[in-house]
Amino acid sequence: MAGVSLENWQERIRDPKIECMSRDEMSALQSKKLVDLVHRVYNNVEFYRKKMDDLGIEPGDIKGIEDIGKLPFTTKEDLRDNYPFGLLAVPQKQIARVQGTSGTTGKLTLASYTQKDVEVWGECVARALTMAGLTAEDRIHVCYGYGLFTGGMGLDLGAQALGAMAIPMSAGNTQRQMMCMEDFGATAFACTPSYAVYLAESIQEAGLVDHMQLKAGIHGAEPWTEEMRKKIEDILHINCFDIYGLCEITGPGVALDCIHHEGLHVYEDHFYPEILNPSTQEPCADGETGELVFTTLSKEGMPLLRYRTKDLTSIDHSTCKCGRTLPRISKFTGRTDDMKVIRGVNVFPTQVETALLSMGGGVAPHYLMIVDRENNMDVLTVMVEVDERYFSDEIRKLDELKNKVGAVLKQALGVSVRVKLVEPKTIQRSEGKAKRVIDNRQM
């Protein structure tokens, strides 16, 4: 990767007192916050009071963070059932803003924030931007969508807290994105990884890579692989960082990976993470994959107890090379509801992405999985974009590539697939979250 290296990348920590706190000190802080949180939600949120009463749990039963397993879970369905303001822990007049995501029922998943919640959110994103090597001197081009979606607003708040320049482009209009990125001298950009690949390829095709001042990319909102990170980095000669968050917890800024890329540091002074077996709800050991569950320790407006994210990951509580003691969650293998069972085999889109990127030249990391049922049998078709030259070449070479892709995917997924090779830019590009799977079995 030209232009950027670990040697010239300065490691910065925004709040060493918190980010390098000892495990005992952090547990004491979390315990104090949890005890206060439980009393607040029990006294102010009817939903949680009933949940705890049903379990025979009183606030006094929670003495510290070690008792968190006694508390009830919260699910996305609970948020929908209490839409829009049924989970508020403060009077509605104290809510400074709302953010939301679209839901399958047509109703939003809505989150409410007090002014303090907004400030904590901005501070968490500022920690993340600092972890990515950015300072008040940087210019951050935000091409996440603004509006109810938390992506654009979260990065904007973080840039403000950092003292950096925010360039609020929002999503869409790639030509305008590139023009402003060049004209304004953006040093970092933030968007989904799938759009980052598209934007990087567009910058490369326009011959603008050397005209840019970019040094960092902040990407999240969907699972992505190390291979995709390296592809973006290699095209633009930058360092890319994985940012994680979800509207229900706060938005982007719950976690970010540092320059060592050995997991995403969770800001556990605000968001307590558990990794649980999705079936048994028992805690997983460090390094063991399970479902990520969060309790919002600091949130005032709409605090959540043990929110089941459906994101699958593992956790590592050891001290990182960067010096932070904040635990690290691994890159997500996907979500429990992203996983598709094909003829008894669990398949995640990220497995397809990894396999395609491992092939090197010939194929692009743009694909679409289509699942059908024919004669009571699951059939997986993977559409894959390939280089233009294969379509102007002899049919035999196209067939050879198709067979090669099929073999690589079968080995990676453990199930045979139908491969459909398509020309470049055939698969619709995403400027928000990429749609990777169409499951016709559920239609």
More confident position, 198 or 268: 268
CATH of residue 44: 3.40.50.12780
Q: How many domains does the chain have?
A: 2
User: Residue 224: pLDDT band by 50, 70, 90 thresholds?
Assistant: confident
352-418-221 Cα angle (round to 5)? 30
Q: pLDDT: is 47 or 412 the higher one?
A: 47
Q: Is the pLDDT of residue 312 over 80?
A: yes
Q: SS3 breakdown of the chain: % helix, strand, coil, rounded to 5?
A: 35, 25, 40
Instruction: Report helix angle 174-183 to 193-205, nearest 10.
Output: 70
Q: What is the mean pLDDT of residues 167-177?
A: 92
At 348 the pLDDT is: 81
| Tens digit of each residue's pLDDT (9 = 90 or more) over 27-43 | 999 999 999 999 999 99
Residues 208 and 320 in one domain: yes
Are 21 and 100 found together in one domain? Answer: yes
In this prediction, residue 2 carries a pLDDT of 38
pLDDT, greater one: 327 or 311: 327
Dist CA 27 CA 304 (whole Å): 19
Residue 345 and residue 312 share a domain: no
| Residue where one domain finishes, among candidates 311, 333, 355 | 333
Q: Are residues 130 and 256 in the same domain?
A: yes
Helix (H) or strand (E) holding 219: strand 216-220
What range does the domain containing 52 cover? Answer: 1-333
**Residues 321-379 pLDDT 10s:** 999 999 999 988 666 666 787 877 778 888 888 889 888 778 887 899 999 988 777 89
Q: Cα–Cα–Cα angle for 262, 310, 36, nearest 5°?
A: 85
Q: Is the pLDDT of residue 7 over 90?
A: no
Provide the pLDDT for residue 1: 36
pTM over 0.75: yes
Structure-model confidence comparison of residues 189 and 360, the more confident one = 189
